[in-house]
Amino acid sequence: MKNLHGFYLIFALWLVVDSCTIYKKELDNPVDHKANDEQGIGSPTLVFYPKSQTKSLSDSVLIESFIVFKPDSMEPFAGVHLQIEFPNSFLELDTIKPGLFITDTSKATPLFTYSYDGENIIDIYTFFIDTVKYNIQGTGHIADLVFTPFNTGTDSIRYNLKFCEMIDYNDNIIDLNGDRAAEVIIQ
């Protein structure tokens, strides 16, 4: 009976201590310019969403490519070149699709093309084409990349920032100041 009292006491103490846990402030969504800023990553930023995902061999891996601007330093752009490197030791490229932002939420049909070197480098070229607008502005979704896993492993999909480029409709280059990779875990 005494042991039971001890157990209740410990349980009550644990309940009190556990219920008063201070959570760590972990606001790190790659699409959030503040989160990128907190990480010391400059803007505009090329990011992938989600920043990390764990899949099984039977799943497909969907990675979304985003351009993220700070609200106070937005610049209109019309075309983007992305060079993406992925781990081909366990992932195989399946599909690449234009994102909602570059299609102006499916209102425009962009010029969207890509090249794949057959190894692990993908180059995506996309231009915003619309009958009324010359460019688009803000944070948005550029492309979706779908991979098929064929082996287990853990690695990152990343941008080769020095080969990535963003231009306005007059072909002026807009500097890209940061990028974030995405982690893929295949179990």
Residues lying near other proteins in the complex (CB under 8 A) are found at: 19-23, 25-27, 29, 31-32, 34-35, 49-50, 64, 66, 138-141
Which of these, 125, 13, 113, lies nearest to 78 by C-alpha position? 125
| Dihedral sign (CA 181, 178, 70, 23) | positive
- Specify the 3-state DSSP secondary structure of 96: strand
Q: How far is CA 172 from the centre of its chain?
A: 25
Give whichever of 90 and 141 is closer to other proteins, judged by the CB atom: 141
- Closest approach of Cβ 67 to other proteins, in Å? 11
Give whichever of 37 and 130 is closer to other proteins, judged by the CB atom: 37
- Closest approach of Cβ 187 to other proteins, in Å? 20
Give whichever of 51 and 120 is closer to other proteins, judged by the CB atom: 51
Give whichever of 17 and 132 is closer to other proteins, judged by the CB atom: 17
Give whichever of 19 and 58 is closer to other proteins, judged by the CB atom: 19
Give whichever of 1 and 16 is closer to other proteins, judged by the CB atom: 16
Read off the DSSP letter of residue 163: G
Q: Which two tokens stand for residue 129?
A: 């084409």
Which of these, 67, 54, 39, lies nearest to 140 by C-alpha position? 67
Q: Which runs of E-coded beta strand occur in the chain?
A: 45-49, 52-55, 61-68, 79-85, 91-98, 111-116, 121-127, 140-149, 153-159, 165-167, 173-174, 178-179, 182-186
Which of these, 65, 62, 77, 72, lies nearest to 30 by C-alpha position? 65
- Closest approach of Cβ 36 to other proteins, in Å? 11
